[in-house]
Amino acid sequence: MAVQDAIATIVTETPAETEAVGRVLGRALVPGDLVNLQGDLGAGKTLFVKGLAASLGYDPHDVQSPTFTLVHEHRGERLTLYHLDLYRLDDALAEIEALGFEEYLEPEDAVTAVEWGERGEPALSRRRFDVVFEVLGSRRRITVYAREIEQQRIEELQQAFSKLGLERTGGAGGGRPT
């Protein structure tokens, strides 16, 4: 079993801080990137996507959870953003194929953010960022992992996350089984 290194672990205390962490990652995204968001309901996944969207030139107020529509497409300035939510899919792998969502999960000229991506993990791009949200009372621990991402981008992201001035725990070098 491979171990995937955490490139950053950050604790946020407000929705604005969670959004700011999303903005940092969003600035580093390039066409073909997938961001897999994992965490309980209310953990901050959609707030994080608002930050991603803002960094890509979209109004974060236009970002809502696609829980009932399954996918929202934001087309515009820098990159197209596909925002998916697999929470309501009973058999995620079969439904991803039946709905033709493979193109969203292997984006070429866009970036994709997937909430509840672990439900369809085998269908996700191998090259991606996994972002894990943990609820700590009113705070959130956000851990960002990189899979098959270029080392230079990882180092640039680590520097950008450190400039946020938010509490960092653990961080680079921490691993988890994949």
pLDDT at 1: 28
What confidence tens digit (pLDDT) does each residue in 3-35 have? Answer: 467 899 999 999 999 999 999 999 999 999 999
Q: Are 86 and 94 in contact (CB under 8 A)?
A: no
Rounded to an integer, the average pLDDT of 53-62 is 81
Q: Tell me how far apart the alpha carbons of residues 156 and 151 are, in angstroms, rounded to a whole number.
A: 9
Going by pLDDT thresholds of 50, 70 and 90, the confidence category of residue 168 is confident
- pLDDT of 99 > 50? The answer is yes
**Cα 49 from chain centroid?**
7
97: confidence class by pLDDT, cuts 50, 70, 90 = low
Average pLDDT, the chain: 81
**Distance separating alpha carbons of residues 6 and 111, to the nearest angstrom:** 21
Cβ(8)–Cβ(144) below 8 Å? yes
Beta strand pairing call for 80-85 and 110-115: parallel
The whole domain housing 33 covers: 3-177
Which of residues 39 and 87 earns the better pLDDT score? 39
Are 23 and 56 contacting, i.e. CB atoms less than 8 angstroms apart? no
- Number of domains present in the structure of the chain: 1
Q: What percent of the chain clears pLDDT 70, i.e. is strictly above it?
A: 75
CATH number of the domain encompassing residue 122: 3.40.50.300
